[in-house]
Amino acid sequence: MTITSSAVRSRTDLCSAIENELSGLIGKRASAATAYGADFARLWALAGKNVLGGKFVRPLLLMEAYDALRQRHHEHGPAETRRRETAISIAAAIELLHYAFLLHDDVIDGDLVRRGHPNLIGSLLAEASETARRDGTDGTRAGSDLHWAQTGGILMGDMLLAATHQSFARADLPHELRLRLLDLLEHTINETVAGEQLDVGLGDGVIAPDLRTILVMCGYKTATYTFELPLRAAAALAGADFAVENALATAGRHLGLAFQLQDDLLSTFGDPRRHGKDPFSDLREGKETAIIAHARTTNAWPDIESFFGKPELSVDDGAHVRRHLSACGAEAFVQGLIEEQMQAFNSQLTTTIPAGVRNVLLDLAGQLEGRQS
């Protein structure tokens, strides 16, 4: 079908444009980094490899929303071309922000692997250990190698956070509009940090795991920068009415929360052959999800609690807990929450959102259904 193949081609073009922009942003810095020695340059090389290997969910959402919002304008002059180039630079900067958050999140969680591959910290650790093995100093400094690798994660996150701000600050835009985007960036960082702090506080037992806190945390930690920021930025760059921007942001937040809740359901009840993750890792880690928050309010909790947060949880025990979580109604409860979010999302679509960008959102929402990984 012509429509499908043109849509596919258009997404491929967008991916290339975003990839080119990211290559430029990172390549420039990776070249400059060589002046500071091999270890510093290595940070940029690894970050470049990881960023460019991403799926560009956030920049694609920004650009598809932007293109849809500009569709009606039929302008093709140099000003339109320049503005679109700026939109691509902001879209790429949001991908750098995402990666900065991931890196600091990995440091905080002590993670060395992401989606089955070593993350930047895991790569630095493996390389330091390999050097130590070659030099015969391994064994004496395993702790130091991890410290070195996690330091690389903190520092690279800082540089990517700086690079994000540099792109926003240098955007080729009227000063007022640039300030508007800088406001958005500041708001996003505050909410994401607040969400990360809640998440860690829940995990460390410093913050009480009630359902409201968990839902607020999910919204702050993921929905804000993954959905609200790209949609608001697209609207601001496209010169859309503030009413449209707000409707997009609200729709995006609902969708973001639905995705996050579905992630939790998939991790606990999904087919590990599909999602490729340890099916009991959330239970072993004692992750405070909406599923767990509901289970705590049921009679099943005393039985579940004795297995929750136990790193040594066996496969049989895991399956037992999973049956309990389903039988006590926690699975259905969270499915209900997702439906609520999707209803709120759909009701936003019937408001001020123009048809083109509505289709972008519906396309994204379509990925939610039948999602298994």
Give the interface with a second copy as residue ranges (CB under 8 A): 29, 32-33, 36-37, 39-40, 43, 100, 104, 107-108, 128, 131, 137, 141, 144-145, 147-148, 151-152, 154-155, 157-159, 161-162, 165-166, 168-170, 175, 178-179, 182, 185-186, 189-191, 193-194, 196-198, 200-201, 203-207, 220
Give least dist CB 319 to a second copy, A: 28
Give the tokens for residue 89: 């630079």
Give the chain's end-to-end CA distance (angstroms, integer): 27
Of 157 and 270, nearer to a second copy (C-beta) is: 157
What is the residue whose two structure tokens read 């702050």?
Answer: 220
Q: List the Cα angle 264/267/269 in 5-degree steps.
A: 100
Of 51 and 185, nearer to a second copy (C-beta) is: 185
What single-letter amino acid sits at 293? Answer: A
Give least dist CB 245 to a second copy, A: 20
What is the residue whose two structure tokens read 């790569």?
Answer: 123
Of 101 and 259, nearer to a second copy (C-beta) is: 101
Number of CB atoms found within 10 A of residue 225's CB: 23
d(CA 138, CA 104): 27
Give least dist CB 43 to a second copy, A: 7
Beta-carbon contacts of 177 under 8 Å, excluding residues fewer than 6 positions away, are 236, 237
Contact 244, 354 (CB under 8 A): yes
Of 104 and 322, nearer to a second copy (C-beta) is: 104
Of 149 and 313, nearer to a second copy (C-beta) is: 149
Taken in order 307, 313, 317, 322, is the CA torsion positive or negative? positive
Of 118 and 286, nearer to a second copy (C-beta) is: 286
Give least dist CB 272 to a second copy, A: 28
Q: Which residues of 340-372 are buried (b: 16+ CB within 10 A; e: fewer)?
A: ebbebbeebbeeebbeebbebbeebbeeeeeee
Beta-carbon contacts of 217 under 8 Å, excluding residues fewer than 6 positions away, are 195, 198, 199, 202
Give least dist CB 102 to a second copy, A: 13
* Residue 114 β-bridge partners: 117
* Residue 113 β-bridge partners: 118
Give least dist CB 231 to a second copy, A: 21
What is the residue whose two structure tokens read 């936003």?
Answer: 348
Of 15 and 126, nearer to a second copy (C-beta) is: 126
d(CA 161, CA 328): 43
Distances (CA, A) of 206 to 172, 197, 199, 203, 291: 44, 10, 10, 8, 19
Give least dist CB 332 to a second copy, A: 30
Which of 216, 256, 266 is closest to 364 using CA atoms? 256
Of 204 and 369, nearer to a second copy (C-beta) is: 204
Give least dist CB 232 to a second copy, A: 17
Of 180 and 371, nearer to a second copy (C-beta) is: 180
Give least dist CB 277 to a second copy, A: 23
What is the residue whose two structure tokens read 């070195």?
Answer: 148
